[in-house]
Amino acid sequence: MSSASVNTRVNTADGGAHVTHRPLGILAALPQELGDLIEAMRGESGVRTITHGQRDYHLGTVHGAPCVVTLARVGKVAAAATVSALIHEFDVEAVVFTGVAGGVATEVRVGDIVVANALLQHDLDATPLFPRFEVPLLGMSRFAADAALAAQLAAACERFVAEEGAASAARFGTREPRVHRGLIISGDQFVASAVAVKALRDVLPDALAVEMEGAAIAQVCHEYGVPCAIVRTISDTADDHAPQSFVSFLTEIAGTYSNAILRRFLEARRAG
Ligand code: SAH
């Protein structure tokens, strides 16, 4: 076991020993997407920070759940490297990614929430050797999120919308959030034109949202047999307005959504 692991053997007062719960890995690409999670951890259990591969991993308990919280930074390689470290250095039991994304399906609007059922790399193309989107030698293009974990995450999103959706819409000038479940697509591109997003819609008609990390995380988790789930708040609709919409959503709204969803998700996990 790695020295950094928080899955430690604890000696109890009666001389016996038990193994504490393996932590949950929680990651985002950008600091705003984590909201106040690390501060909440600091207040609850204190934070132990371990730097590994140029990333800070924050270990502690938050909303009653032992967690390792970190930032992947942007893109598929960054995400794959970070989730790999969460698995190998920190022995996480499961991985949850929280962040923002561009809406692809026309019914997915700014302020909505998408919980992935499956993820695909839209920029992976080894044709004609392999079918478009297929990961060569793995024989797969779509990676499923863990059904139970995704259901818990979606339930937390639904509770947030029921309890705070109207207030959040009024506060941020968005429509009342809707929770969607389905395909999230990932690639090493910030999609920011009507033409580009239409092309994605045409080739992947069931895609709900586009971002830059999720499918890489889902692939690594699949390969190591670690459950993962991905939740994305829609910051933009991947069209020509995307850069401004993304920046204002990220700075003003993303943290509020993340706090609200993760608190409900982690509290339910502790209770369950
Ligand atoms: N330098 C920028 C990088 C942001 S890239 C910054 O720090 O502000 C956009 C991030 O948001 C990625 O992590 C991606 O997963 C997500 N995202 C939001 N809207 C997106 C879109 N339209 N296309 C691709 N990724 C998007």
Q: Which residue among 32, 71, 100 is best mutated to probe the pocket of ligand 1, counting the most ligand atoms within 8 A of its Cβ?
A: 100
Residues of the chain above pLDDT 90, percent? 88
196 Cα: distance to centroid of ligand 1 (angstroms) = 15
Does 235 sit in the ligand 1 pocket, CB within 6 Å? yes
pLDDT given at position 17: 44
* Minimum CA distance residue for ligand 1 atom 13: 74
pLDDT given at position 271: 76
CB 156 within 8 A of CB 63: no
Confidence tier at 43 by pLDDT (50, 70, 90): very high
CB 121 within 8 A of CB 115: no
pLDDT given at position 270: 78
Task: Report CA-CA distances (Å) from 50 to 56, 59, 73, 242.
Answer: 6, 8, 17, 35
Residues marked active site are found at 33, 236
Token pair, residue 164, equals 């705070």
User: Which ligand 1 atom minimizes the distance to the CA of 237?
Assistant: 22
pLDDT given at position 109: 96
CA distance 162 to 176: 10
What topology is assigned to 8-271 in CATH?
Answer: Rossmann fold (3.40.50)
CB 30 within 8 A of CB 97: no
Task: Report CA-CA distances (Å) from 61 to 37, 170, 179, 242, 258.
Answer: 10, 33, 27, 35, 17
DSSP label at residue 31 = G
CA distance 136 to 121: 12
Task: Report CA-CA distances (Å) from 37 to 25, 50, 206, 255, 271.
Answer: 12, 16, 32, 9, 19
pLDDT given at position 5: 46
Domain positions in the chain: 8-271
Residues of the chain above pLDDT 70, percent? 92
| 3-class SS string, 152-180 | HHHHHHHHHHHHHHHHHHHHHCCCCCCEE
Averaged over 143-172, what is the pLDDT?
Answer: 95
Confidence tier at 20 by pLDDT (50, 70, 90): low
Q: Using the structure block, give the residue that is written with the tokens 């045409």.
A: 202
Residue type, 234: I
Counts for the chain of helices (H) and strands (E), in that order? 7, 12
Average pLDDT, the chain: 92
Q: Name the nearest CA neighbour of 42 among 69, 80, 15.
A: 69
> Of 12-16, 49-53, 157-161, 213-217, which gets the smallest average pLDDT?
12-16
User: Which ligand 1 atom minimizes the distance to the CA of 189?
Assistant: 24
Token pair, residue 7, equals 């899955």
Q: Is the pLDDT of residue 159 over 70?
A: yes
pTM of the model: 0.92
CB 216 within 8 A of CB 77: yes
* Minimum CA distance residue for ligand 1 atom 1: 74
Radius of gyration of the chain (CA): 18
Confidence tier at 171 by pLDDT (50, 70, 90): confident
pLDDT, one tens digit per residue, over 54-102 is 999 999 999 999 999 999 999 999 999 999 999 999 999 999 999 999 9
Confidence tier at 2 by pLDDT (50, 70, 90): very low
CA distance 74 to 32: 13
CA distance 120 to 71: 21
Confidence tier at 173 by pLDDT (50, 70, 90): confident
CB 212 within 8 A of CB 87: no
